[in-house]
Structure 1
């Protein structure tokens, strides 16, 4: 079975890790392709950070990187790194390697493939793809006293505490194309899963890459989404005029969904054309992933 997951953020990475763990206990062979949001990517102190890719690498690795933060702490004290972005020493090592390889002419897909191989993802049956090889960065537009200001979404989230944003803009999206393998992974999948990530700033950014949404509309695979934790999503949902409810999040995917996993007390979306299944989403990620797969297989039947 070919499973394609669109992912972003820590919750998305944990969901993917749970899915892979679940599949390793299944007698059926499965191939998992993960398409990661790169709209959170940022260059700090000359190093290219890809938070969502790096989060997936860490979650899926049998040999997770060092978690101490001595390097960024020292860089911050020297005034060349912002205190609001504390990368671990292992993440800094990845950023150094990525920056060097990109500088030598490698694409982000090639760099990601090398890092994934180093972390043992291939042995676990996982292929990790960036959504695009073109640099794309999301910014929040904030109202100032006299004029609006755009700040990188990482600074907006971690440095400013996610204040009210007028809108989000995605620098580079006008030049972006899907990375090699992305559209085929969607078209040829047996199951497509939308991880429980921010529908505006994670999944929504991937869906904004030209061709991705059309590929999802055209795939014969059932598309099943998982409702994210809503507590921290109010600011991003408000910027697109959506309420912080499971039904509102599902509505953002209304042209794509075949199935939706919601919490036990979540009200279904009015007039929904997809199948909603209510489960306990606070259980371990492997169990939630199993529920998503079960719903997808029911839709395939």
Structure 2
């Protein structure tokens, strides 16, 4: 089975690990591709930083810092302290020394003219990931936040890390997205997929920028595979991060039902053929059906390998049911 996942960040990494674990336990032949958000990327101290990609890379490689939720395990931060002293990096954004090694390698390749897709391949080849990562686009489409007071836009990372998403905002834009195109790997992964899974990532700044790349929605709309989304909202609260602030900024309620409606049904020009909500939100299934979104309630909490693999199995089972014509 060819499985393609769309998303980015820690929630996506946990979900993809569950998909990989389910594939390994099933014993079947699976190919897993992940189309990764690149709009969180930015330049620091002359280095290209890619947070969503690196969260996936490190988690799948088993070298991530599980306590902090980002970066490498067993890190030191001596180089970051020097960069802060020299004033070439903001003191509110700290990178570990091992992590900086990744960024230096990435930047060296990019400056040599290597595409982002090829950088992904080179970085992924170091470990047996069991998954192939593809950038949503090879173009730079960094997300900027529009402050509510009308002041100059901030890079998303400054708003997210420095201000903890507490600076009132009126919207988000991806600079350069109008002239971007999906990466060849992303398009191929969607075209060959037997199922497309939208990870429980931030709908606004992790999944949204992927969908904003011109041609990406068309590729998903024409895909023969069912598209199944997994809610990152449980009982009206975000599982991790500050997606609730992002949703409020674009006028979407923080609920599984509201995000499902935000994505919309593929039959009505939206994204989804099916939407998984948590059992605690089972009451939303009928509400979603009334708005044209087919939903199912299953346990969504990914506490460990077992629960994560089961969620992946539930998502694939839902896809199989969606693919079958109704009786």
TM-score band by shorter chain is over 0.9
Give the superposition deviation at 1:188.
Answer: 2.0
Question: Conserved in 2, the CA contact under 8 Å of 1:62 and 1:120?
Answer: no
**Which among 85, 90, 93 is matched to residue 85 of structure 1?**
93
1:153 aligned partner: 156
Q: Deviations over 1:17-71 (max 9, x none)?
A: 1211221111210001100000000000110001111111101114554533332
Q: Does 1:300 align with 2:323?
A: yes
1:169 aligned partner: 173
- Once the two structures are overlaid, the 10-residue window that deviates more, 158-167 or 278-287, is 278-287
2:67 aligned partner: none
SS of 2:203's partner is coil
2:248 aligned partner: 238
CA distance in 2, matches of 1:74, 1:197: 33
Give the superposition deviation at 1:234.
Answer: 2.0
**TM-score after normalising by structure 2:** 0.86
CA distance in 2, matches of 1:169, 1:265: 33
2:41 aligned partner: 41
Larger fraction in helix: 2
1:97 aligned partner: 105
Q: Does 1:143 align with 2:143?
A: no
CA distance in 1, matches of 2:277, 2:179: 35
1:201 aligned partner: 205
1:257 aligned partner: 272
Q: Deviations over 1:186-212 (max 9, x none)?
A: 122100000000111000110011111
CA distance in 1, matches of 2:99, 2:43: 13
Question: Conserved in 2, the CA contact under 8 Å of 1:62 and 1:119?
Answer: no
Question: Conserved in 2, the CA contact under 8 Å of 1:38 and 1:130?
Answer: yes
> Any gaps of 5 or more consecutive residues in structure 2?
65-71, 265-269
1:227 aligned partner: 231
**Which among 192, 195, 198 is matched to residue 196 of structure 2?**
192
**TM-score after normalising by structure 1:** 0.93
CA distance in 1, matches of 2:47, 2:207: 25
